[in-house]
């Protein structure tokens, strides 16, 4: 991916520090402050920032599965009126993530057209990849956090006193089960498709694809008897898994060579994907056109840049998940 080096934009194919011996290793995110009800420290002592209406802004792309997690959580937690969202174009340009129109970032800071401008506004000497999502503080003019896993956790609780929305996607009794599945799904599925797609050696590709499809087979069996990943309740583990599944047949099968099977070839995974897609607050976050345009515009995996017409996908079909016990979302 293109990146910033000492605050200057460098348009490399893939950041050098994300490739090791032909295998893809995701660069850690660097902005990790935490939204809390009162501005106190985060759960691991991170610098706290008080959750206030109108103070924060979410910068995302509907192409990106990591960013789309945060978009979904914003919607499910009823935060649309409190946290405006800026949506980048589906495909990245030579300038990285780009916005069709300049995006206002608050009083005292300039409007931005490129995501990398948010990063240099936050740190003029920033070095590293420029990613979405970014949770922006309009009051302080800086990125609070650019780690999607953190952002969905913060949005799950930080604004509850303001909204009255008590849906809990990380309920304490289910946390061991959620954490177990999150770890496996992140490594072999969410990041696994990227490890396959960005591999530069046959061995790295083979290892990633084998682990990916082993986990998909395990999830297929698990979802035969469980409505959701953690059982009867939809949790953040489902949001995280869904983001890869909804992109799989449209993009990863072709662009990333994850073509041993399609999600449509797994009855339980396919029905599960359709059910989550049909949830109010999730449907509108998905753009298959953006997904295809974005992944097939990555020149080092698709040198012709031709975007395929297919596949024909219909996520509005009946999902048949009602046959399993499900209680929706845990409420605090």
- Assess whether 150 and 192 both reside in one domain: no
Q: Closest Cα to residue 190, out of 256, 112, 285?
A: 256
Q: Is the peptide bond before 187 cis (omega within 30 degrees of 0)?
A: no
Q: CA geometry: angle at 181 spanning 246 and 131, to 5°?
A: 55
The enclosing domain of 40 has a CATH number of 3.40.30.10
Q: How do residues 190-206 score in pLDDT, each as one tens digit?
A: 999 999 999 999 999 99
Residue 207 corresponds to which tokens in the numbers above? Answer: 């290892």
Q: Can you tell me the distance from the alpha carbon of 216 to that of 68, in angstroms, rounded to the nearest whole number?
A: 21
Domain boundary among 165, 194, 217: 165
- For residue 19, the model assigns a pLDDT of 59
296 and 232 within one domain: yes
pLDDT of residue 17: 55
Do 178 and 323 fall within a single domain?
Answer: yes
145 with 52, same domain: the answer is yes
Residues 138 and 202 occupy one common structural domain: no
- Given 141, 165, 189, which residue is the final one in a domain? 165
The answer, yes or no, to whether residue 127 has pLDDT greater than 70, is yes
Separation CA 126–CA 259 (nearest Å)? 37
* 159 and 30 inside one domain: yes
Q: How confident is the model at residue 93 (pLDDT cuts 50, 70, 90)?
A: confident
CA dihedral 300, 301, 305, 310 (to 10 degrees): -170
pLDDT exceeds 70 at position 241: yes
Which helix H or strand E contains 260, and what residues bound it? none
Question: Do 18 and 82 sit in the same domain of this protein?
Answer: yes
- Catalytically active residues are 64, 194
For residue 287, the domain's CATH number is: 1.20.1050.10
Higher-pLDDT residue of 9 and 91 is 9
Same domain, 117 and 209: no
Instruction: Provide the sign of the torsion angle of the four alpha carbons 93, 195, 33, 180, taken in this order.
Output: positive
Question: Domain range holding 103?
Answer: 3-165
Domain match, 98 and 45 both: yes
pLDDT tens, position by position, 289-330: 999 999 999 998 999 999 999 999 999 999 999 999 999 999
Which of 133, 165, 197 is the C-terminal boundary of a domain?
Answer: 165
Task: Name 148's Cβ contacts closer than 8 Å, sequence gap at least 6.
Answer: 66, 67, 69, 70, 133
As for how many domains the chain has, the answer is 2
- What digits encode the pLDDT tens for the residues 3-56? 999 999 998 655 555 656 667 666 788 899 999 999 999 999 999 999 999 999
Residues 104 and 120 occupy one common structural domain = yes
Mean pLDDT of 142-158: 98
237/160 same-domain check: no
Average pLDDT, stretch 203-220?
A: 98
In the numeric block, which tokens belong to residue 41?
A: 């420290």
Same domain, 15 and 155: yes
Looking at residues 258-276, what average pLDDT do you find?
98
Closest listed residue to residue 74, CA positions, set 156, 5, 146: 156
Average pLDDT of the chain to the nearest whole number: 95
Q: Three-state secondary structure along 26-48? A: CCCCCCECEEECCCCCCCCCCCE
Helix (H) or strand (E) holding 68: helix 65-76
Instruction: Please state the pTM of the whole predicted model.
Output: 0.94
């Amino acid at each position: 991916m293109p990146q910033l080096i000492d605050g200057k934009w460098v348009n490399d194919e893939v950041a050098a520090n994300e490739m090791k011996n032909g295998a893809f290793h995701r660069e850690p995110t660097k902005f990790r402050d935490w939204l809390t009800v009162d501005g106190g420290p985060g759960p691991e002592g991170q610098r706290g920032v008080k959750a206030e209406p109108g103070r924060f802004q979410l910068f995302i792309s509907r192409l990106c599965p990591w960013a789309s997690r945060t978009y979904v959580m914003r919607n499910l937690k009823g935060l649309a009126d409190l946290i405006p969202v800026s949506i980048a174009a589906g495909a990245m340009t030579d300038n990285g993530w780009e916005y069709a129109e300049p995006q206002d970032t608050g009083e005292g800071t300039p409007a931005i057209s490129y995501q990398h401008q948010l990063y240099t506004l936050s740190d003029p000497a920033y070095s590293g990849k420029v990613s979405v999502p970014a949770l922006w503080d309009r009051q302080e003019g800086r990125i609070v956090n650019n780690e999607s896993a953190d952002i969905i956790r913060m949005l799950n609780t930080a604004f509850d006193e303001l909204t009255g929305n008590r849906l809990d996607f990380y309920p304490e009794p289910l946390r061991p089960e959620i954490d177990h599945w999150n770890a496996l799904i992140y490594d072999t599925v969410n990041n696994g498709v990227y490890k396959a797609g960005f591999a530069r050696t046959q061995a790295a590709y083979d290892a990633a694809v084998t682990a990916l499809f082993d986990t998909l087979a395990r999830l297929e069996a698990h979802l035969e008897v469980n409505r959701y990943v953690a059982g009867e309740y939809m949790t953040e583990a489902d949001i995280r898994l869904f983001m890869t599944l909804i992109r799989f047949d449209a993009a990863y099968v072709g662009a990333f060579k994850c073509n041993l099977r399609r999600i449509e070839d797994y009855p339980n995974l396919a029905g599960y994907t359709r059910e989550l897609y049909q949830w109010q607050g999730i449907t509108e976050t998905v753009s298959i056109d953006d997904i295809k345009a974005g992944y097939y515009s990555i020149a080092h995996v698709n040198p012709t840049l031709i975007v395929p017409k297919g596949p024909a996908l219909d996520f509005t079909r009946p999902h048949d998940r009602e046959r399993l016990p499900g209680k929706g979302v845990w409420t605090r």
